[in-house]
Each structure stands twice: as structure tokens, then as C-alpha cells.
Amino acid sequence: MTDETTSWPVLEEAHGALRGAVAGVTDWNAATPCAQWNATQVLQHAAGDQIAFAAFLTGGPGPSEDPFAPSGSLESSPGSVAELALKQSADAWAAVAADATEVSVPVPPNSMSAAMGVGACALDAVVHAWDLAVASGQPSPLSDSIARELLPVAQQIVEPLRAYGAFAAALPPEAGDGDAAVLLRYLGRRPDWSA
């Protein structure tokens, strides 16, 4: 950690995508690409993951419930839930030096470079932003540029997580796929998913 503030553009874009997707959801019981979860549960999972990243970095408290077993019941507005989590995550990462070679993260192997760790955090946020956006008929917030940046991160961290059921099996790429579609298929999501 350092006294200086570090800027992480990839995290800012991913957080903006999640914030925007949350703001556009009108039915929090809507089905999502995460077949077992509705929109509320995806938000709880995404928020819990951001809080978990912050907790690993700072030693502060983790999420109040298991992000992998979201209750589907919110104690405050969806926007408030998202903002609290995004602020904790952004503040924690701002205190991490860009050239740090080892930071604690809640994904295997639980320690990686700052650049890889912030990529993992951004990947989580932007993919769940996509889940919420397509579940509610919004345009995809997953740009080809951020997908291109995050695919190498996904390729390094996702396989161990599949063993825990965190991601479905990868889907084969299809002709004409852009970078966003390639990333989504790698994460086991159908780019053409609709409710």
C-alpha cells in the first residue's frame, strides 16, 4: 500500500458499467444469464464480490452475506447497495501501487500482481453489469476494448473458479464474434442471451 492515490481506468470503466446497469433495471425479479439467480441476486453477488476485493486489500470487513448464496432480499435500495460496494472497492484499489507485485485477492491463488488483481475485480464488475443489462433489456455495457483488455485476465483466473461452479464451461467461439462476445463465451455466457 502507498500514501499516493492510484488511478485504475479499467476499474473505473467496469464500475461505471455496473453503476449504469443497476440504474437501468426496472424489475429486480427478472431472470438473468445466471440461471439460478434473479437480478437482485446478481446485484448482491456483484456487490459482495467488490466488497470482498476491498476486504482482502485492506483487512476490513467482508460482505455481510455469502456472494455465492445471495438471499434475494435487499436491506436498502439497489443503487445504495451498488454504490457502497463500488466505493469500498475503488477506495481500496486507489491505495494500491500500480507496480505492486503481490496483493491479496479473493480469487485463487489469492495473491497476484496489482494489475492482474484489479483486472480480476474489473472483470467481475463488468460481466455482472452485462448480466443485469441484458436481463433488463438495456444495451450491453461490455465494450470490445475492455473485453480485449480483460480476456487475458480471465484466461489466467477463471479455470480454477470453474471448479467451484463460479463460471459455466466455456462456449466455443463463433464466426463473427467481436472481443466482447469472445470474452462472454469464454466465461460460459451466450452473447445473444435474452430473457
Indicate the domain borders of the chain: 9-186
pTM: 0.96
What is the tens place of the pLDDT at every residue in 123-170?
Answer: 999 999 999 999 999 999 999 999 999 999 999 999 988 887 888 999
pLDDT-derived band at 2 (thresholds 50, 70, 90) equals: very low
Alpha carbon separation from 33 to 27, 29, 137, 148, 155 (Å, rounded): 15, 13, 12, 21, 20
Measured between alpha carbons, how far is 74 from 62 in angstroms, rounded to an integer?
17
Predicted confidence at residue 163, as pLDDT, reads 83
Quick: pLDDT tens for 7-41.
999 999 999 999 999 999 999 999 999 989 999 99
**What one-letter code names the amino acid at 37?**
W
> b vs e for 172-185, b when ≥16 Cβ sit within 10 Å of the residue's Cβ?
eeeeeeebbbbbbb
Q: Domain 9-186 maps to which CATH number in 1.20.120.450, 3.40.50.300, 1.10.10.410, 3.40.50.970?
A: 1.20.120.450
Predicted confidence (pLDDT) per residue in 91-103, tens digit: 999 999 999 999 9
Confidence at residue 125, expressed as pLDDT on a 0 to 100 scale: 98
What is residue 3's predicted lDDT score, i.e. its pLDDT? 58
| N-to-C CA span, the chain | 43
Q: What is the band of 4 on the pLDDT scale with cuts at 50, 70, 90?
A: confident
Give the whole-number percent of the chain exceeding pLDDT 70.
Answer: 98
Q: Tell me the per-residue pLDDT of 32-72, one tens digit each, with 9 for 90 and over.
A: 999 899 999 999 999 999 999 999 999 999 999 999 999 99
pLDDT interval class at 121 (50, 70, 90): very high
